[in-house]
Chains A and B, each alone.
Chain A
Amino acid sequence: MTRQRSRAKNLAIVAGLRTPFCRAQGAMQGAFAADLGTFATRELLDRTGIDPAAIDEVILGCAGPDAREANVARVVALRAGLPETTPAMTVMRNCASGLEALVTAQHKLAAGEGEVFLVGGTESMSNFPLMMGPKLVKFFMRLQKAKTLGRRLAALASFRPRSLKPRIAIMEGLTDPTTGLMMGNTAELVARRFEITREEMDDYALRSHQRAAQAVASSAFDAEIAPYVAPPRFAAAVTGDDGVRTDQSREALGRLRPVFDRHHGDVTVGNSCQVTDGAVVLLCMSAAKAKKLKLEPLAFVRGHATAALSPATMGLGPVHATPRALERAEIDLQAIDRIELNEAFAAQVLGCQRAFASADYCQQQLGLDAPIGELDDDKLNVHGGAIALGHPIAATGARLVLTLAQQLRQNDLRYGLATLCIGGGQGQAVVLEAA
């Protein structure tokens, strides 16, 4: 069931670009989120030749901006040479922030609040901070308040080496505060619920690497990656994603110890997404504006939805968001030619696959009469996913859209679905239609 409808209010994606995705504390560790975003934005402007003044707003996702660049989108806009009069906002919906940026632009277009948007996401997980622990904070407060020498000495004497233990932002950020579960633990829950085995997870992880390696070998990412030279030393150009392991063996994956549930778990670093730096930007506008600027759209946003569920099984978010997005797009799952479902954990992708096809789950959780449908392996994450490429949190959503749009175009396909699970128990989905 598909039908033609007006695209006047649908956002057209006319161009997109990203930095290479590099493992955290690696080739791009000197670059902060704003550095990565600025580079990608400048490069996109250079390549499209669009007048920056034509852009109505910059909307970027970022889950962990540096303290010096809290509204990282505004910093990026100014540093990238956009006029000072162009507004910019940073959006935050954890893992889906980059997709949320696109959805926000779609909302603004529909509401008549602008026609041209630069959206995307940027993340430097290398620069997620180590913070002072509460004991250290108290120590410093005591020291500051002490006015007399005696009190000052007393304050100094209260120091204990264990107060030096830092708070690690990335660990705390990846722990759900309402359930106390780390993201990996939620994946364990999904695995238990759908009886997903360690073998299945590792098989899936291996396939992600193989598919990504194949995509790299066939230059599938060339159109979307701009070579990046990272500050502060600008030592060498990074030309491609460095998380893909072409020599990944199934045995090596099998040897890894589970990390989240050390005794009974199955989720390992090998079948989870990688911790990565990267930025993605997309130039989006109304169809009319694209025509006026003589820019050829890659794809249109046809429908989108956001849904929420139990934080404990946040990995199933796509199952909840997708049916609504399909409904709004007025198409069936069968009509979708390519699916980019973020690989937070192999267990969670496999869980989604089961849930999509499960009459039980769809009935109990979503109140549907029938299962949503099968997530066909031949359509799902055909260029690999975050297990191989990495998951720079807020950049990923935009990368899925960019990769999807490129695939639709390169293979002359019509519909695509980009969806992510979101820490905290949400899911977001966007249906794209080729131009």
Chain B
Amino acid sequence: MSSSSTKSDRPGSEPTTAKRQTGDIASTGNAGATTVDCRIGEDGIAELRLGGPEESVVTFTAERLDALESAIAKLRSDRRLRGVIVTGPGPRMFCAGADVKLIQDITEPAAGERAATRGREVFAGLRALPVPVVAAIEGPCLGGGFELALFCDLRIASSDRSTQIGLPEVKLGIVPGFGGTYNLSRLVGLPAALDLVLTGRMLRGKPAWKRGLVDHLVPPEKLLATAHRECLALADKGKKGPERRLRGMAWWLSKTPLRRLVVRAATKKLATGQAKFYPAPKTALSCCTNAFTMPAEQALAAEARALGAMIVTPESKGLTHLFFLTERSKRLGKSEDAGAVDRALVVGGGVMGAGIAGLLANKGRDVRLCDLDLDALARAKARLQKDLDKRTRRRRLERHEARAIQDRLAIGTDWGHLGRTDLWLEAVVEDMGVKQQLMAAAIARGLPRDAVIATNTSSLSVTEMADNVVQRDRVVGIHFFNPPEKMPLVEIIRGEHTSERAVATACKLAVGLGKFPVITTDAPGFLVNRCLSPYLNEAARLLVEGTSPEAIDAAMLDFGMPMGPCRLLDEVGFDVATKVSEVMHNGFPDRMQPCELFAAMVKAGALGQKTGGGIYGAAGKGQGPGRRVIESLRSQRTAPGREASRSELVQRLIYPLVDEAYRCLDSGIVASEDDLDLGLVMGIGFPPFTGGITRFAKREGRAAVVAALDELSRTLGPRFAVSDGLRRRAVE
């Protein structure tokens, strides 16, 4: 893309005439993705737009950087120039940062460092201009976009809801590279900068303004006018920008040795839990600190080097891979076939039903939750209110918004009139007969023909459930995980007769609820529970063999799982685990024989958290009543008890998961490795930095996995037998 291409490249186009009138001095690029549009007004204020009006998402590519550079160069040589306003291509978009594809493609640290330096130098051209430069921000202003804004002399944000400001780089396993860590730290001080950079948190207009990320917050309609006024005011005073210096606590914690307190606290936080698997936040921490310990040039160079180092890490590659998978999953919600779900009926006021209904109400749907037990329904309202109160206290939600959400959740022992229902979803007991009856009743009671009938079953066949339904093509599984408000994955189960429309509608709903849908076919356990089954089963076997639950959980936490399997069993409850394991055993008799521990725990009444303790104590702390159950099972064994080693634990727990995942792929449960990667990260918390289970398997070496499983199969039994699919891939 030539940055010198002019308006004559676009003969007759409407913008050309418009530009000529306003004194176009630099219009660069002729493809949407590279445009930087710059026009200078009569008052000498130039408007520099980061893209053409047709662009709904603006990202930084090499071409756009070139265009920006030449635009700045032309501005510099223009004598009329009194000030510059940098803004997005139109309403609700500033710049969403660097193109993730580019980030993913960089494999050399030096290339990363070069790209970072290049971007920063182009941006620095704005600061080098002799006139004031004002950023007018509405919509996403993220990553590289915000780093550009940080190079401006003044930042003005629109109070529009679309405004989002932040440096989310660490979420992709990298650090801000275009001077963001330096400029932000100098602007708001170390503690406030770290709060944003280390978490990748994005702020709406008002909080961004309160924290000093932007200088003014204005109504959307007045954004550009205010930018003009402020720019002229600075120009009239002959000033480049307002004077800035850190004050108060921010000054003490940034510019004095007290800084160490902040660094120490942040370092400690980054060494605990899952944070320890991610190098980027630690690197970002040192970059931000550099802003106060090094001269600017040196700190900026160090930042570029840090980006180069981070951008090639496997963690970054894993996270960017997942980023694309989530984008892909969101696209499932865009199908033209999909119907809208504005009104839903949820049958079953248990934990799942209440959670799903609350989620629907939260996301703007009218929902009616039905159960014969009024107390359960009251609990559902109370549970929603508890969540709303918490968010209101934290100022995430206005009082009237919270009330509107609660208003949308209707409850009742009867279903009401079904005539305006778009989605009928059941979350009642896992009983095929009951579910079939309810579905038949829904149709008998006049559910409209185009409404979708959904089940939240985790273990029953969606196809069989639809058997008695006259219009079985609209029966689909929508499997939320517990708790539905928090768990990001939703399995959309396509039964044998399920129509495309039903699947599309379910996907659209899932995306609308902020979830990531994965489409699976109808087989026991679908994807997540099926893969989880051998994992939890094996954990139970290890317990009975003599390994302590603490050792098992610690090994899995070290592997990167968010929670150890023993603790997970306590949370799920042994009653549920037993039920699921029975279903899995029926489905796969040779591989998924349930460990005797499940039944024994249920018999002893040590179900887990819900009964006041299972393996661990009631609050998840200390030893629970389940330890005695484990002990008695251990004493019944003839073989001597033994503790498994760390590496054995990983092999026995994780490798079967890999095998089961590939079995799911080969038997068509899901369509691609991508689905496996996303499904298991979002569904069971498989470590995101691996990029997903198939990425993990490839890095580990599938041949090594197969060899280890073969060995386990020889010593411990055929449940470790490797599938043909995985064996075939191992030799690829």
A residues neighboring B (CB under 8 Å): 38, 42-43, 46-49, 51, 79-81, 226-227, 229, 231-237, 239
Q: Is the CB of A48 within 8 A of B385?
A: no
Q: Is the CB of A229 within 8 A of B377?
A: yes
Confirm or deny: B449 has a beta carbon within 8 angstroms of a beta carbon on chain A.
Answer: no
| Closest A residue by C-beta to B413 | A227
Q: Which residues of B contact A47 (CB under 8 A)?
A: 414, 416-417
- Give Cα distance in the complex from A234 to B358, angstroms: 14
Kindly supply a per-residue 1/0 record for chain B positions 409-431, scoring 1 wherever the CB is within 8 Å of any chain A CB and 0 otherwise. 01111101111100000000000
Residues in B372-386 with C-beta less than 8 Å from chain A: 374-375, 377-378, 381-382, 385
What would be 27 A-B contacts, judged by CB atoms less than 8 Å apart? A42-B407, A42-B410, A43-B416, A46-B412, A49-B417, A49-B418, A51-B420, A79-B403, A79-B404, A80-B407, A81-B407, A81-B408, A226-B412, A227-B374, A227-B411, A227-B412, A229-B374, A229-B411, A231-B385, A231-B406, A232-B385, A233-B382, A233-B385, A234-B378, A236-B378, A237-B374, A239-B374
How many contacting A-B pairs (Cβ < 8 A)?
57
Q: Is the CB of B374 within 8 A of A234?
A: no
Q: Is the CB of B406 within 8 A of A46?
A: no
Q: Known contacts being A49-B417, A51-B420, A79-B404, is A235 close to B410, with CB within 8 Å?
A: no
CB < 8 Å neighbour of B407 from A49, A51, A79: A79
B residues neighboring A (CB under 8 Å): 366, 368, 374-375, 377-378, 381-382, 385, 403-404, 406-408, 410-414, 416-420
Q: Which residues of B contact A232 (CB under 8 A)?
A: 385
Q: Which residues of A contact B403 (CB under 8 A)?
A: 79
Q: Which residues of A contact B419 (CB under 8 A)?
A: 49
Q: Is the CB of B366 within 8 A of A81?
A: yes
- Give Cα distance in the complex from A229 to B374, angstroms: 9
Q: Is the CB of B417 within 8 A of A46?
A: yes
Tell me the minimal C-beta distance from B688 to chain A in angstroms.
Answer: 36
CB < 8 Å neighbour of B420 from A49, A229, A235: A49
- Give Cα distance in the complex from A43 to B368, angstroms: 10
Q: Which residues of B contact A235 (CB under 8 A)?
A: 378, 382
Q: Known contacts being A79-B407, A227-B374, A234-B381, is A43 close to B418, with CB within 8 Å?
A: no
Q: Which residues of B contact A48 (CB under 8 A)?
A: 417
- Give Cα distance in the complex from A229 to B406, angstroms: 11
CB < 8 Å neighbour of A46 from B368, B378, B381: B368
Tell me the minimal C-beta distance from B103 to chain A in angstroms.
Answer: 44
Q: Which residues of B contact A49 (CB under 8 A)?
A: 416-420
- Give Cα distance in the complex from A229 to B376, angstroms: 11
Q: Which residues of B contact A43 (CB under 8 A)?
A: 410, 412, 416
Q: Which residues of A contact B414 (CB under 8 A)?
A: 47
| Closest A residue by C-beta to B408 | A81
- Give Cα distance in the complex from A105 to B710, angstroms: 80
- Give Cα distance in the complex from A46 to B367, angstroms: 10
| Closest A residue by C-beta to B446 | A49
Q: Which residues of A contact B416 (CB under 8 A)?
A: 43, 46-47, 49
Tell me the minimal C-beta distance from B386 to chain A in angstroms.
Answer: 9
- Give Cα distance in the complex from A234 to B407, angstroms: 12
Tell me the minimal C-beta distance from A135 to chain B in angstroms.
Answer: 32
Q: Which residues of B contact A51 (CB under 8 A)?
A: 420
| Closest A residue by C-beta to B400 | A79
Q: Is the CB of A236 within 8 A of B375?
A: yes
- Give Cα distance in the complex from A229 to B382, angstroms: 9
| Closest A residue by C-beta to B417 | A49
Tell me the minimal C-beta distance from A96 to chain B in angstroms.
Answer: 28
| Closest A residue by C-beta to B373 | A237
Tell me the minimal C-beta distance from A39 to chain B in angstroms.
Answer: 8
- Give Cα distance in the complex from A47 to B419, angstroms: 10
Q: Which residues of A contact B417 (CB under 8 A)?
A: 46-49
Q: Is the CB of A234 within 8 A of B412?
A: no
Residue picked from A47, A79, A229, most chain B C-beta under 10 Å: A229
Q: Is the CB of B385 within 8 A of A234?
A: yes
Q: Is the CB of A38 within 8 A of B412?
A: no
| Closest B residue by C-beta to A68 | B400
| Closest B residue by C-beta to A232 | B385
Q: Is the CB of A237 within 8 A of B385?
A: no
- Counting from the closest, the 7 A-B pairs by CB-CB distance are A49-B417, A49-B419, A234-B381, A46-B416, A237-B374, A234-B382, A229-B378
- Give Cα distance in the complex from A233 to B384, angstroms: 10
Tell me the minimal C-beta distance from B372 to chain A in angstroms.
Answer: 12
Q: Which residues of B contact A239 (CB under 8 A)?
A: 374
